[in-house]
Structure 1
Amino acid sequence: MASAEPQDFHVWLEAVSPERNIARRYAISLSRDLFGACLVEVSWGRIGRRGQARTLSFSERPDAERFVRQLQRRRMSARRRIGVPYREIRAAGRDLATCQG
């Protein structure tokens, strides 16, 4: 039986330019916790290093999806900001554009 709940969403991005000494990674995950809140987990940093992480909780899935789309838009502007575009390494789950909360 299929669930009406949208699937979790995970995406891993990298921006690499050896000549500019840029090796960045960025990961975004959207899931639900045991209490039904939507969690957005974000981690970033230099490839091969520990980096940083942040987890935010949203009571409504549309709010969480809106936040994830804002993060994605920011990553897609990397070429203009840092001179190297992020490229998608892995993705799992449903595209946020098709998620219904």
Structure 2
Amino acid sequence: MDHDETGPVHLRRIDPSRNMRRFYTLAIQPTLFGGASVIRNWGRIGTSGQSKMETFDSDDDAAAVRLERTKRRRGYRDSGAP
């Protein structure tokens, strides 16, 4: 994620040959105590999917950056990209 970016990252992975249509959303929200929560939502496109929230003591978004890079290596692309 870009440090200047304030909105969530929306990724998707579509592979018709494998009947794969997945989405992945990653967002960072500040906590009341100066930390940050990384909120992930993923699943098959057209479903509500699953969610997970992890809270960190600092507002460093390094964990979110690592998660996004991992998903991109696995073939996920921005939602607007083919």
TM-score, reference length from structure 1 = 0.67
Match of 1:53 in 2: 51
Is residue 11–residue 23 contact of structure 2 (8 Å, CA) maintained in 1? yes
Q: Which secondary structure does the structure 1 equivalent of 2:47 belong to?
A: coil
2:74 matched to 1:87?
Answer: no
Unaligned runs of 5+ in 1: 1-5, 79-84, 91-101
Q: Distance in 2 between matches of 1:22 and 1:7?
A: 28
Matches within 5 A, 1:37-48: 37-48=35-46
- Following TM superposition, by how much is the alpha carbon of 1:18 offset from its aligned partner in structure 2, in angstroms? 1.6
Unmatched tracts of structure 2, length 5 or more: none
Quote the offset at 1:72 in angstroms. Answer: 1.1
Length, aligned pairs only: 77
Structure number with higher relative contact order (C-alpha < 8 Å, ≥ 6 residues apart): 1
- Matched to 2:78, the amino acid is E
| Percentage of matched positions with identical amino acids | 30
What displacement does 1:51 show? 1.2
The RMSD of aligned alpha carbons is 1.8
1:70–1:23 distance in 2 versus 1, CA, 3 Å:
same
Inter-partner Cα distance in structure 2 for 1:43 and 1:29: 9
CA distance in 2, matches of 1:9, 1:37: 17
Select the structure that is richer in helix: 1
- Distance between the aligned counterparts of 2:41 and 2:28, measured in 1? 12
Match of 1:36 in 2: 34
Deviations along 1:33-77, whole A, 9 cap, x unmatched? Answer: 334321110010111112110011111112xx1111110121122
